[in-house]
Amino acid sequence: MSVVSYAQTDYGKVQRGTQCPAEYVQNQNQDTQPQGEVVKKKYPTREEILSQKIAFFTQELDLSPEEAQKFWPVYNEGWKKIHEAHKKVNKTLKELNNALKAEPATSDKEIEALMEKYFSALKAEAQIQEETYNEISKVLPIKKAAKTCTLEEKFRVMLIKQLRR
């Protein structure tokens, strides 16, 4: 069984904390590895993570086929915009960090300008998140639309726990 199909068909196992796809592959490889040889942990690919996310959201939101057909294009488009906005936030944060470490010291005026740029990027990201929620709430019931916000964090935490194992 491939890791992708594992993530799609055995999602319940991942949720209950048995094996993440990376562990499944590692355990499969251990049977073929000679004793005493170190097995390098295989991390899931973006495609495998995306498959897990789709299965996770579909199950948690209890999406009907009709809802899923309407939801995923809206969600994917919104997520792309949020991701781009988040990259801008990180870029401005990096600029600020570099300015604070710079020798000779960066002026207070320049630091203030970088802080304004950073807060502006945060506001833009929050605005895009709100717009995405508004679009999702047009294709899903309000409770399901609101749940998408909490599921992002829940999935992220679940993924981090899997990768730490």
Q: How far is CA 28 from CA 21, 66, 87, 94, in A?
A: 11, 37, 36, 41
Contact between 81 and 132 (Cβ < 8 Å):
yes
Task: Please determine, for residue 8, whether its predicted confidence score (pLDDT) is greater than 60.
Answer: no
CA distance 26 to 84: 33
Q: Which of 98 and 3 is assigned the larger pLDDT?
A: 98
Percent of the chain past pLDDT 70, that is, above it, reads 75
pTM, two decimal places = 0.68
Residue type, position 133, single letter: Y
Task: Please determine, for residue 92, whether its predicted confidence score (pLDDT) is greater than 90.
Answer: yes
pLDDT at 15: 37
Summarize pLDDT for 46-81 with one digit per residue, the tens. 899 999 999 999 999 999 999 999 999 999 999 999
pLDDT at 23: 44
Summarize pLDDT for 15-38 with one digit per residue, the tens. 333 334 444 444 444 445 556 666
Mean pLDDT score across all residues of the chain: 82
